[in-house]
Each structure stands twice: as C-alpha cells, then as structure tokens.
Amino acid sequence: MNNRREFVKKGVVGLMAGSLVSVPESFARPLKEKKEDLFKLAMAGYSFVHFNLDQSLVMMKKTDVHYLCIKDFHLPYASTAEQITAFHEKLKESGVTGYAVGPIYAKSPKEIDNSFDYAKRVGVKLIVGIPSHEDLPYVAQKVKETGIRYAIHIHGPGDKLYPNAVTVYNLIKDLDPGLGICFDMGHDTRYGNDAIADLEKYQKRIFDIHLKNVTAATKEGTTCELGRGVIDIPLFVKTLRKIKYSGMCSLEYEKDMKDPLAGIAESVGYYKGVCQAS
C-alpha cells in the first residue's frame, strides 16, 4: 500500500508543477486511511523447530515478517555475550527484531532465575514461560524485581498445568500485573473455549499471542493455514482492534513443520489481507 501512496504523492506533485502528465482518477482519489494497528505480526520461533537460524531468517524475509520470539534452539541458554551480539546482528541483517524469548519450561525457582537471567542477557522485556503452579508467586517477585514481564503459555486439552486462558487467569489474577498470558488461540479453542471471547475477557493479562487456526474445536483439532480453520480470524482481528491490543501476533505454524514455507506464506498473506480489508 505504501508504494501506492507514494505514487499518489508523485501524481499530486506532478499536477502541482503544472505537468501535462495525466493522473488516472483513482490515483488522485484519496485512499481510505487505515490507522496503523497497535499490534504487529511476528513469528513464534517454534514454527522453525526443524530449521537453523539462517534457514528461518530466509523464510521470514521471504514472507516479510520482522519480529521473532526467540527459541533456545536458535540461541542456546548458555550463549555468551558475544554469541548473543552476533545473533542480534544476524537478525538485524534480515530486518528482524527478537522481541521475546520462549516458551521456556521452568520447573523450579532456580530454572525461573535462569529464564530471567537469559532474558536479561538477550535484552528482551518479555518471557514466554511455563512455571510450576507453586512457583507463581516467585515468578511475580522476579517480574517486579527485573521489570521483565512473564507470559504463561497455554497448551490446550491434555496439558495439566495451563490448558486454557481461564486456568492461567485464575492463578495469576491476584499476583503482579506483569504476570500474564501467552494466549495460544489454537490451544484455547481446542480446549473447547471461545478464543475470541477469551481474548476480550482476559485482555489486560494477554501479553503475547500465538496466532494460529485449528481444524476443530476439540482435542483432535490440529494447526492449519490461518484462513482454513474454525476460528473466525476477521472477527479475531476486529477484537484485537477493539481491545487495543498492542503486543505481537506471533504466528505459530505447526503443520507440515518440515516443509512449512507455503503454509506460513499463505497464513501471513491471509492475516495481512484480513487486516487491510477490515
């Protein structure tokens, strides 16, 4: 769209300069202004579980996505400062910014310490994590101490810790407001919940979103291309705008994971089409 806007500008300049170049009607016609959305499209690192960083960045460049939630298989927890700098440099060369780390399992206060230490060294202000229930007050304390927010990942039916948004919300609602949810809309739906209603209901605690669609609103549902599932994505995007969501929509594409490019590209295209048309 930007290109077109530039063309319009050039056309207007041409006319103002008294040029004889004719400007077709709709180029002069002002484009319906679309307010820049507060939320942004990102990739959840897990989508690239079978690919190294270089291969992943090629796919992100190809699909024009510029934010990444960093997984440890691309940047190991034990990375040195130099390795972390080199990692960020490589992302920058592809026009990509790492905005968070995770999901990271943390089964003890020690592992929680490690998560925060890692996030601090990587230089991000958000961790997506899976702590034990009993450690939640400790996570809250770390959030307060570090200023790094912590989003608990939900994982659908079968997950004993955090199957859906309401489970997480009930556990954190009285804890530090920097403790929130990584809202996996696919898993929430697979649990049988209404992801769009939950997005609105728990908006204040939703810090990150795993953007995806699923084939069925049951345990048997699996990830599919964003426009081909049971979740009404146009309504979801409308709701993101309604609640003024200002985080990332991190595409987690879990179909054809060894050959995901076409599905990722279709999903990115679908998301952009929905955003631009609605």
Residue of the chain from 14, 27, 109, 166 that contacts a second copy (CB under 8 A): 27
CB of 1 to a second copy, least distance (A): 7
CA distance 209 to 248: 6
For residue 39, give the nearest of 225, 189, 233, 237 by alpha carbon: 237
Indicate the residue among 86 and 197 with the shorter CB distance to a second copy: 197
CA distance 31 to 5: 8
Instruction: Please report whether residue 277 would count as binding a second copy according to CB under 8 A.
Output: yes
CB of 78 to a second copy, least distance (A): 34
For residue 68, give the nearest of 48, 38, 39 by alpha carbon: 48
Tokens of 243: 């609640």
Indicate the residue among 102 and 221 with the shorter CB distance to a second copy: 221
Residues touching a second copy, count (CB under 8 A): 51
Tokens of 75: 């940047």
Residue of the chain from 14, 109, 157, 227 that contacts a second copy (CB under 8 A): 227
Indicate the residue among 139 and 214 with the shorter CB distance to a second copy: 214
Instruction: Please report whether residue 3 would count as binding a second copy according to CB under 8 A.
Output: yes
Instruction: Please report whether residue 31 would count as binding a second copy according to CB under 8 A.
Output: yes
Residue of the chain from 94, 193, 223, 250 that contacts a second copy (CB under 8 A): 193
Indicate the residue among 174 and 276 with the shorter CB distance to a second copy: 276
- Coil, strand, or helix at residue 250? strand
Instruction: Please report whether residue 66 would count as binding a second copy according to CB under 8 A.
Output: no
Instruction: Please report whether residue 63 would count as binding a second copy according to CB under 8 A.
Output: yes
* Chain centroid, CA 246 distance in Å: 11
Residue of the chain from 176, 192, 243, 257 that contacts a second copy (CB under 8 A): 192
Q: With contact defined as beta carbons under 8 Å apart, do 183 and 154 qualify?
A: yes
Instruction: Please report whether residue 121 would count as binding a second copy according to CB under 8 A.
Output: no
Instruction: Please report whether residue 186 would count as binding a second copy according to CB under 8 A.
Output: no
237-257 per-residue burial string, b: 16 or more CB within 10 A, e: under 16: bebbeebebebbbbbbbbbee
Instruction: Please report whether residue 109 would count as binding a second copy according to CB under 8 A.
Output: no
Q: With contact defined as beta carbons under 8 Å apart, do 99 and 42 qualify?
A: yes
Residue of the chain from 12, 13, 19, 26 that contacts a second copy (CB under 8 A): 26
51: left (phi over 0), alpha (psi -120 to 50) or beta: beta
CA distance 197 to 227: 19
Instruction: Please report whether residue 228 would count as binding a second copy according to CB under 8 A.
Output: yes
Instruction: Please report whether residue 73 would count as binding a second copy according to CB under 8 A.
Output: no
Is the torsion defined by CA of 186, 188, 193, 199 positive or negative?
negative
- Site residues, a second copy (CB under 8 A): 1, 3-4, 7, 22, 24-27, 31-32, 62-64, 192-194, 196-197, 215-217, 225-235, 237, 261-263, 265-278
